[in-house]
Amino acid sequence: MKIVRVECHVAELELEEPYTIAYETVSRAANVLVRIVTDGPLVGCGCAAPDLEVTGETVKSVVDALGGEAATRLHGADPRRWGHVLERMAEPLASHPSARAAIDMALHDLLAKMAGMPLWRLLGGFRDRMRTSITIGILPIDRTTERAVEHVKRGFRALKLKGGRDVDEDIERVRSVRAAVGPKIELRFDANQGYTVEAARRFVRETGDADLEIFEQPTPRELNDGLGQVTRNVPISVMADESLMSLRDAFHLARGRLVDMLNIKLMKVGGIDEALEILAVARAARLRVMVGCMDECALSIAAGLAFAVARPGVSYADLDGHFDIIGDPTSAAVTLREGTLFPSQQPGLGIADLD
């Protein structure tokens, strides 16, 4: 079997409702859908979700990267030697993590299709489903609380609140939501790099009775020492998100004991293969792991879910990036029931081809 060509299609995805985080408001997302076409009947499907602020990429840079040296190196390669192929992608896609993730995803999809198995089973199949949190962007406090209650009524048992712009308002927001949803709902908070060390410590101190489960990326990613100061001085779990972009970052965070948890996103780290290596570092360092996402269609979410359910080292999932997408062409790749995601039982990632 040989790779004949790589095709890219830009999918402009509208969101049902814009959302706000510490540094931007998002109303739409563009994904790059990737097909690895072979000389046989099988096609590998992947997706890139570039984000200039997080991955340093744009849609154009991803398409250009995948159509340049990467395409040349893929042409004629044997996808069954996926480790060799991915290594050949390392140089041309070094600064394009979501583009690497798309190729990685498509190769894994092909491998599982060749085996006639769902990818999540092929990767290990430790569990067959996983509960996900659902994120509430920065809204007025009363609307945040209303939205939290709505999600609980829909069956979600884990909520992630966004903040990082105003610590006083964030404290009130968390308290209001906890009072409304009761003690049994898991609450997580993501400051998206918006706090100083002092503000982060104050936030944790004044929301102590709200029983927050996870405090995500409180300080700027270029100030990992600050992240470590927060971790050492608060009683709840601190998790790295934007500070974790690679295997090297994972090693640095683990060696310095700068966090309690890692949020692995395939788009940041370059795909499933790299994610598995980061998971090994996390397990060795006894760091808990969450699998997260960007604004991604269900095909990409299916890849994150396959990784999440495959191994026992993944404790949490925040795979809600596809919930608000209107007309997702890959929606069949995952199923949501009562706040729990179920992977497809079809070979690969659950999508035979991208029409």
Q: CATH number for the domain including 76? A: 3.30.390.10
d(CA 170, CA 351): 40
User: Are 43 and 125 contained in the same domain?
Assistant: no
pLDDT mean over 9-26 = 83
Active site residue 268: no
User: Are 108 and 128 contained in the same domain?
Assistant: no
Has residue 355 been placed in a domain?
Answer: no
Give the start-end residues of each E strand in the chain: 3-20, 25-38, 43-48, 130-131, 134-136, 158-162, 186-190, 214-216, 237-240, 261-264, 288-291, 314-317, 334-337, 340-343
**Predicted model pTM:** 0.95
pLDDT mean over 218-245 = 96
In DSSP notation, 267-318 reads HHHTSHHHHHHHHHHHHHTT-EEEE---S--HHHHHHHHHHHHHSTTEEEE-
User: Are 136 and 211 contained in the same domain?
Assistant: yes
Active site residue 249: no
pLDDT mean over 98-107 = 98
For position 139, what pLDDT does the model report?
95
Mean pLDDT of the chain: 96
Q: CATH number for the domain including 261? A: 3.20.20.120
Confidence category of residue 224, pLDDT binned at 50, 70, 90: confident
How does pLDDT run across 52-73, given as a tens digit for each residue?
999 999 999 999 999 999 999 9
Query: How many structural domains does the chain have?
Result: 2
Phi and psi dihedrals of 2, rounded to 5? Answer: -130, 150
Has residue 67 been placed in a domain?
Answer: yes
Active site residue 166: no
Instruction: Print the domain residue range for 332.
Output: 121-343
User: Are 157 and 46 contained in the same domain?
Assistant: no
CB 178 within 8 A of CB 211: yes
Alpha helices in 125-207 (DSSP H): 141-153, 167-181, 197-206
Has residue 147 been placed in a domain?
Answer: yes
Give the chain's length.
355
User: Are 78 and 131 contained in the same domain?
Assistant: no
> Cβ–Cβ contacts within 10 Å for residue 327, how many?
8
Helix axes 272-284, 298-310, angle to 10 degrees: 30
118: DSSP letter: B
Question: Is pLDDT at 177 greater than 80 in this prediction?
Answer: yes
Q: 265, 268, 274, 324: which is the annotated catalytic residue?
A: 265
For position 355, what pLDDT does the model report?
74
User: Are 130 and 103 contained in the same domain?
Assistant: no
Q: 51, 170, 241, 274: which is the annotated catalytic residue?
A: 241
Has residue 354 been placed in a domain?
Answer: no
Q: 190, 273, 320, 328: which is the annotated catalytic residue?
A: 190
CB 317 within 8 A of CB 283: no
Active site residue 225: no
Question: Is pLDDT at 193 greater than 90 in this prediction?
Answer: yes
Nearest residue to 66 (alpha-carbon basis) of 14, 119, 12, 3: 3
User: Are 112 and 204 contained in the same domain?
Assistant: no
For position 150, what pLDDT does the model report?
97
Has residue 349 been placed in a domain?
Answer: no
Q: 57, 170, 216, 273: which is the annotated catalytic residue?
A: 216
Q: 57, 104, 109, 162: which is the annotated catalytic residue?
A: 162
- 92, 116, 140 — which closes off a domain? 116
Has residue 257 been placed in a domain?
Answer: yes
d(CA 271, CA 57): 15
User: Are 27 and 150 contained in the same domain?
Assistant: no
Question: Is pLDDT at 278 greater than 90 in this prediction?
Answer: yes
- 116, 138, 156 — which closes off a domain? 116
For position 17, what pLDDT does the model report?
82
For position 133, what pLDDT does the model report?
98
Confidence category of residue 151, pLDDT binned at 50, 70, 90: very high
pLDDT mean over 158-168 = 97
Has residue 69 been placed in a domain?
Answer: yes
User: Are 193 and 327 contained in the same domain?
Assistant: yes
DSSP strand pairing (43-48 vs 334-337): unpaired
User: Are 127 and 268 contained in the same domain?
Assistant: yes
For position 16, what pLDDT does the model report?
85
Confidence category of residue 27, pLDDT binned at 50, 70, 90: confident
Confidence category of residue 211, pLDDT binned at 50, 70, 90: very high
- 81, 116, 151 — which closes off a domain? 116
User: Are 129 and 77 contained in the same domain?
Assistant: no
User: Are 307 and 332 contained in the same domain?
Assistant: yes
53: DSSP letter: T
For position 321, what pLDDT does the model report?
93
Amino acid letter, residue 146: E
